[in-house]
Homo-oligomer: A and B are copies of this chain.
């Protein structure tokens, strides 16, 4: 076969539609669209395009030329935020929504509302079946006390199973996105070992520009929150281009670089993340360079995952008690407040409190009965799938 040179690009666009929290969103979206309209890459993976209006900005600039094919993955309340632009026909698509994805009452974290998951688009390039996966795992928020760890490990494992199952007919598999996982994290290694995908940044033969590979919370990024630098003075590497080719093909990463940076003529960046590009050359296998494998075996990683999921189940049990206690306290306060007589016109305060207490009690009950049980079932689902896999690993 003719060597196939694929240029891949991924970026978390930071398209959170909350003006004070997310700065210069509209300007940045236009700048991203303008930059990508040069058509430097063959396939573009974007995350955090939460607003359909922002997707339209991108589509209108990119879809006539250079990327006639695009797919947005609808999901959850705000949509997955993920889309793919391609120079090649998108043959078909499917979305796998994670069973676990944070909590609705954590409105300020917001991940629950995105219906996060992994999207798949299938292409054919030069008679090769190319499978494109895009994902955005639940954010970490606190490194020292990661209350979402079990959800994040469950997402990483479920995704790795989905990729493994669906990609068996693929000649080339590419998984891009914001994993919200660092290379030392359990979830990252689980994905790599269970799918056999390689990390373009690790395998690269060359790079331009920023050499440390940190894609998020970089001190040089104009949107970097100084608080993040306490734990990660140089930032974090959490945005990835993972890839693989079937056995008879070799896939070489000619280049992998952090790109985009600051918008030309402006003092601010395209996003609070850096863009990642990879130039991957696929050809018939001659001599393949050995790839860097994660140090831990699948067996070890699955064992560790079960420990995390068990802790998640323990936490869910405690949460269940918390929410029913909350409901009871609210009901009690509601009764107590009913006895207090406050004269007109201040009685509206009582009304306001009663509404707040009813809503809180209602949420406590719903959480106790439905949401908490769904969380337990989601954790059990991943745990049982891990157990099945673990019991049948080749010794």
Please list the residues of chain A having a beta carbon within 8 angstroms of any beta carbon in chain B. Answer: 71-79, 89-97, 99, 104, 113, 115, 120-121, 158, 161-162, 165-166, 168-169, 338, 351, 354-355, 358-359, 362, 369-370, 373-374, 376-378, 380-381, 384-385, 388-389, 392
Please state if B99 and A75 are interface contacts (CB–CB under 8 Å): yes
Closest B residue to A124 by beta carbon equals B392
Please state if A374 and B92 are interface contacts (CB–CB under 8 Å): no
Q: How far is the CA of A378 from the CA of B378 in the complex (A)?
A: 19
A174 CB to nearest B CB, Å? 16
Please state if A77 and B358 are interface contacts (CB–CB under 8 Å): no
Please state if A77 and B373 are interface contacts (CB–CB under 8 Å): yes
Contacts of A351 in B (CB 8 A): 338
Closest B residue to A194 by beta carbon equals B92
Please state if A378 and B94 are interface contacts (CB–CB under 8 Å): no
Closest B residue to A89 by beta carbon equals B392
Contacts of A370 in B (CB 8 A): 77, 104, 113
A1 CB to nearest B CB, Å? 21
A381 interface neighbour in B74, B104, B120, B161, Cβ under 8 Å: B74
Q: What 6 additional pairs, Cβ within 8 angstroms, besides A72-B384, A99-B115?
A: A91-B389, A92-B388, A93-B389, A95-B381, A113-B370, A169-B169
A166 interface neighbour in B90, B166, B381, B385, Cβ under 8 Å: B166
Closest B residue to A97 by beta carbon equals B99
A81 CB to nearest B CB, Å? 11
Closest B residue to A379 by beta carbon equals B74
Contacts of A166 in B (CB 8 A): 165-166
Closest B residue to A119 by beta carbon equals B381
A384 interface neighbour in B89, B93, B362, Cβ under 8 Å: B93
Please state if B74 and A384 are interface contacts (CB–CB under 8 Å): yes
Closest 10 CB pairs of A and B: A168-B169, A74-B380, A74-B381, A74-B377, A165-B166, A358-B358, A92-B389, A94-B161, A91-B392, A93-B388
Contacts of A373 in B (CB 8 A): 77-78
A385 interface neighbour in B76, B94, B385, Cβ under 8 Å: B94
Closest B residue to A369 by beta carbon equals B77
Closest B residue to A99 by beta carbon equals B97
Give me 27 A-to-B residue pairs in the complex whose CB atoms sit less than 8 angstroms apart, sorted by A's number.
Answer: A72-B384, A74-B380, A75-B377, A75-B381, A76-B374, A76-B377, A77-B370, A77-B374, A78-B373, A91-B388, A91-B392, A92-B385, A94-B161, A94-B162, A96-B96, A99-B115, A104-B370, A113-B370, A121-B388, A165-B165, A165-B166, A168-B168, A169-B169, A358-B358, A358-B359, A358-B362, A359-B362
Q: How far is the CA of A312 from the CA of B176 in the complex (A)?
A: 32
Residue from A89, A115, A369, A385 with most neighbouring chain B CB atoms (10 Å): A385
Closest B residue to A169 by beta carbon equals B168
Q: How far is the CA of A388 from the CA of B72 in the complex (A)?
A: 11
Contacts of A374 in B (CB 8 A): 76-77, 115
Closest B residue to A362 by beta carbon equals B359
Closest B residue to A373 by beta carbon equals B77
